[in-house]
Structure 1
Amino acid sequence: MSELITENVEKKTVLNIGFDDTDSPKGMCTTFLAYKLVDLLKKQRTEFLDFPRLVRFNPNIPWKTRGNGAVSIKIKTSNPSKIKNQVKNLVSKYSDTKNGANPGLVFFESDSIPHEFTEFSDLALWQLIHRSNAKKFAKKNNLEYFYKGNGQGLVGAIGAIGYDFKDHTLELLSYRKKQKFGKERKISIQSVKEMQEKTYPDTFNSFDTKKGRVLITPHGPDPVFFGVRGENVSSLVYASKIIKSDEKLDGYMIFKSNQGTGDHLKNELTFETMKPYASGKLTGIVSNSPKIVKGGHVFFKILSNNNEFWCAVYKPTGMSVIASDLIQGDKISVGGGVRKASKNFPRIINLEFIEIISLKKQITTSNPICKKCNKKMKSKGKGQGFQCIRCGKKSSRKINQEISRNLQKKLYLPKVSAHRHLTRPQQRQGIQNKSKIFKNSLSWFCVYEN
């Protein structure tokens, strides 16, 4: 007699968790909250469907804490309500609300992300979105959401879930033990330099060789010890092992990110979209002679689609020399963030790149040269032509001479120490990392046993 054996298969739900603005200038970090959350979920044997996602949004938002980054995590679980409660508790515990953090948390149960999320995320990448719009979005789409303070974090929380990666990089963030929060970070400069040399081009923007400056350590009191950005897990783990420090660290986690993609500058700035704090790019003709002001900063105008736009290049970017060599008539493409109007200037684009498309010939006129004596002729007076004072040879007009330009038809970027999180570095030009492969077996998360 055969028996029919039935198994109860637990139904699993795909849960997207997005959160942002849990940090303040005085401490904590949204990625550290993600690290703590992943640690908790891994202990519960939760199934992860992708790397934790660290999405950097519009870097020109005035109330951002540091890099304007939000985090989302995609998991599969048979007990979503339990996990939601755990996440809420962690957000409350690890948000620095007493120092101005305005955390936002969003839950969305679905394997596929509706296009409305992606549109919202795309907008947050280059424009200013008010928190009231995020609350309206959450209500309209029946999202489960939670916030403290004014709820500004809801913008990033929704955006991090909806972000559609056309290109991505990875970042290994290494975290400190609690007793070290706020204390000086001591790291071997030579080891960081060596790490960059050994892992190039699979890592980027770790060390400024010209200044001898380490670029992987933050300077604030947050829990991050260092962050290495690159293209794949193995290179990042290898890089982290080269870096030397006497400090015992808590662990690390690797995020999938839009850092180094330049995605915030993919949208065209127009007269209509050039709102304060917007980011984008435009192509046009230099319409005046660049002005160099006190401090070495350079200002010039560009004519695009019959509208003139002011552009600013600040000396610390290292691009001020490039900007000062532009002349009226040069065709260029520029990208950056819009600064609101001041008493001296209307809205102005703070440039993050200059790409020379074509250079106008620079012509100067001078007195003709006597071919016999190889000396410049002297003017005989207005309308009377020119004459060599040695041999008497005459000429009726001045001569035109083309001056060689110091610029080339190419892309100019700020020096590496002036790059933003989203800046696409030179070594990533033309590269698109579209890989969607995620293996839980990869060493993307680790808590050290020490």
Structure 2
Amino acid sequence: MKHMGSITEQKYLFVPTLKEAPKSAEAKSHKLMSRAGLIKQVAAGIYSYLPLGYKVIKKIENIVREELDKIGCSELLLPALQPRDLWEESGRWDKYGPELMRLKDRKDRDFCLGPTHEEIITQVVRDYLNSYKKLPLALYQIQTKFRDEMRPRFGLMRGREFIMKDAYTFTENQFELDEWYQKFTKAYKRIFDRCGLETKIVSSDTGQIGGDEADEFMVMSEVGEDTITYCDSCDFGANQEFSELHEGDDCPKCNGGVIRIAKGIEVGNIFKLGTKYSESMNAKIINKQGKQVPIIMGCYGIGISRTLMASVEQHATENGLVWPKDIAPYDIHVIPMNIKEDSPQMEIAGILSKALKGKRYDVLLDNRNERPGPKQFDADLIGIPWRIIVGRRAPEGIVEIRNMQKDIVKEVHFSKLLLKKENIREIFATK
């Protein structure tokens, strides 16, 4: 179904902007998302997503769905509440550590709030996947996860409750797993590219998830918690804990490359689980040779809320957000400086908003009874990519167009925006 465009009146939208960031905010993204009214802290590592922030979350989720559906994945939804017995089957109930949120029900039975879902997904498919003829299979979900982090920090980067996409593949053999691993690698590249993020793929330890091989997708950032080693000549990259390389070392992959060091934010990871869960949880198939063997598994995660945070870290200025166009909460911000009913500014703003909606743009119309100063202040914080200022030259039909990503300002007659969609692209051209 084609997107039809929409108009949101800002006087009805809940956007509680702040002049100053909360004292607890350290990272740029935490400060700006709090000031721009995207999130509000409830407790350490726990946040409410306010309307603007949630719109960006949904944009990221939709990009993930589109790209995973393209490669043959099916979406489902698994429970956050997980029984102890499944975790004991996998051997992780005692091994996972204090990050596992544990609780008891009224009958004194043990449960946990899922930090990940390998046990649940294995339990879901093991009774159905009994033959190689039902493979391969790829399933994913987008859901809230829980981890009792000892030091929640930097806003959405390390939280105790966060939104994550986790996917799982089930194959007959290692060759098919390798094929899916490459499919997910390419899909992740497209996802992060559409989200406006520059990422590096680095080899890593398998950690608490386990398995045979793992890679991480990293966004370079000074507030990143991981130290990345990468080559300045080829595509080699690895988490320093995994590689044990240092600045200036020779690249282990190519001739002549030198290792560089940077901090990174992990936004995605992929694991070759092998038979770690299928063996212990008795998820087996009859293969082509007629033998009963454990299913070969892979798992693939993307931090949805962390992707939001990483985008702000990579693109925002110290004074406001600058959204990549595909995840911006709105496409165009129309701001009449005078909203009186008899004002030509309000009349032109209304005409423009309806016309842009008809061209399938999402428009935020600032029809609040506010002075120009606060309107401009909030608009700078919110950071919608295109801005149309309807000001003092409205009686002449002249409006100001701003491309916030390219810092380009033009004055045009508003009638040009009522024509084909291509005219608007031309108006915002960077040349």
TM over 0.5: no
Interval of TM-score (by shorter of Structure 1 and Structure 2): under 0.3
Name the structure with the higher helix share.
2
**TM-score, length of structure 2 as denominator length:** 0.23
**TM-score, length of structure 1 as denominator length:** 0.22
- Relative CO higher for 1 or 2, CA cutoff 8 Å, sep ≥ 6? 2
Higher alpha-carbon Rg: 1
